[in-house]
Structure 1
Amino acid sequence: MSGADVAATPEAAVRVSVVVPHYEAPHDLELVLGALALQDHPLHLLDVVVADDGSRTPPAPGPRPFPVRVVAQEDAGFRAAAARNLGAAHATGEVLCFLDADTVPEPGYVAAVLRAVRAGADLVVGRRRHADLSAATPGALAAWWRGQGPAPELFEDPAWLREAYERTGDLRDAGDDAYRFVISAVLSVTRELFDAVGGFEESFTQYGGEDWEFAHRCWLRGADFAHAPDAVAWHDGPDFAGRTDDADARRSRNAEGLALARFVPGPATRGAGLVWAFPDVVVTLDDTGAEVADVVACVASLLAGTDGGVWLRSGDACDELADPRVHRGTPPADVLGRCRFRVDLDRPVVLTGATLAELTDVAPVRVGDDLLVRRTRDVARSAGAADVAVPADPAVRADPLDGVDLQRAWGRYDHRRHVRLQRSLRTPFVVSERPIAAP
Structure 2
Amino acid sequence: MDAPAVSVSVVVPYYRQQSQLTMVLAALERQDFPRDRLEVIVADDGSPEPPRVECALPVTVVRQEDRGFRAAAVRNLGAAAATGDVLCFLDADTVPEPGYVRALARLPSLVPDALTVGRRRHADLTALGRLPAPGDPLLDEPGWLVDAYRGSRDLLDADDRSYRHVISAVMCCRRTFFDEIGGFDESFTAYGGEDWELAHRAWLAGAVLAHVPAAVAWHDGPDWAGRPDDRRRDAKNGEAMSLAPLITDPAARRHGVRYAVPDVTAVVHSEGHTAASLLVTVGSVLRHGDVTVWVDGAEASSFVDTWGIDDPRVRIGLPDAAETTRSRFAVEVSGRAVFGEKAFALLAEVGAGESVLCTLPDGAAVTHETWRARRRARRWASALGVDEDAALAMLFGTHSVDGDAVDVTTGPLRPDLSW
User: Do both share a fold (TM > 0.5)?
Assistant: yes
1:12-411 alignment, distance < 5 Å: 13-62=5-54, 64-118=55-109, 120=111, 122-137=114-129, 140-141=130-131, 151=136, 153-244=137-228, 246=230, 248-271=231-254, 273-288=256-271, 290-314=273-297, 315-316=300-301, 317=303, 319=305, 320-352=308-340, 354-362=342-350, 363=353, 364-369=355-360, 370-383=365-378, 384=381, 385=388, 386=390, 387-388=392-393, 389-393=398-402, 394-395=404-405, 396-406=407-417, 408=418, 411=419
Secondary structure, aligned partner of 2:244: helix
The verdict on how the C-alpha distance between 1:401 and 1:261 changes in structure 2, with shifts beyond 3 A counting, is farther
Amino acid at match of 2:211: H
- CA apart distance, 1:336: 1.5
Q: Distance in 2 between matches of 1:401 and 1:104?
A: 66
Q: Distance in 1 between matches of 2:8 and 2:162?
A: 24
- CA apart distance, 1:192: 2.0
In structure 2, the partner of 1:437 is none
RMSD, aligned α-carbons: 2.2
Secondary structure, aligned partner of 2:312: coil
- CA apart distance, 1:42: 1.1
| Residue segments in structure 1 that go unaligned for 5+ positions in a row | 1-6, 412-439
Q: Which digits, 9 at most, give the CA deviation of each residue in 1:255-312, with x for residues without a partner?
A: 1111111111022211163221111111012225743333322221111142111112
Q: Distance in 1 between matches of 2:211 and 2:83?
A: 24
TM-score w.r.t. length of structure 1: 0.83
Secondary structure, aligned partner of 1:69: strand
Q: Distance in 1 between matches of 2:275 and 2:358?
A: 23
- CA apart distance, 1:136: 4.5
Secondary structure, aligned partner of 1:371: strand
Q: Which digits, 9 at most, give the CA deviation of each residue in 1:49-88, with x for residues without a partner?
A: 11111111121213x2221111111111111011111111
Greater mean alpha carbon deviation, residues 301-310 or residues 224-233: 301-310
In structure 2, the partner of 1:427 is none
Secondary structure, aligned partner of 2:42: strand
The verdict on how the C-alpha distance between 1:368 and 1:86 changes in structure 2, with shifts beyond 3 A counting, is same
Identity across matched positions, percent: 47
Q: Give yes or no for contact 1:304–1:355 (8 Å, CA) kept in 2.
A: no
Q: Distance in 2 between matches of 1:203 and 1:93?
A: 26
Q: Give yes or no for contact 1:130–1:239 (8 Å, CA) kept in 2.
A: yes
Q: Which digits, 9 at most, give the CA deviation of each residue in 1:9-63, with x for residues without a partner?
A: 64xx31000001111111121111111111110112111111111111121213x
Q: Distance in 1 between matches of 2:205 and 2:2?
A: 22
Secondary structure, aligned partner of 2:19: helix
Q: Distance in 2 between matches of 1:404 and 1:245?
A: 61
- CA apart distance, 1:331: 1.6
Greater mean alpha carbon deviation, residues 25-34 or residues 388-397: 388-397
TM-score w.r.t. length of structure 2: 0.87
Q: Give yes or no for contact 1:302–1:355 (8 Å, CA) kept in 2.
A: no
The verdict on how the C-alpha distance between 1:278 and 1:8 changes in structure 2, with shifts beyond 3 A counting, is farther
Secondary structure, aligned partner of 2:258: coil
Q: Distance in 2 between matches of 1:98 and 1:239?
A: 18
Q: Distance in 2 between matches of 1:29 and 1:245?
A: 24
Q: Give yes or no for contact 2:191–2:239 (8 Å, CA) kept in 1.
A: yes
| Residue segments in structure 2 that go unaligned for 5+ positions in a row | 382-387
Q: Give yes or no for contact 2:338–2:411 (8 Å, CA) kept in 1.
A: yes
Aligned residues: 390
Q: Distance in 1 between matches of 2:320 and 2:256?
A: 23
- CA apart distance, 1:348: 4.2
Greater mean alpha carbon deviation, residues 183-192 or residues 389-398: 389-398
The verdict on how the C-alpha distance between 1:133 and 1:382 changes in structure 2, with shifts beyond 3 A counting, is same
In structure 2, the partner of 1:429 is none
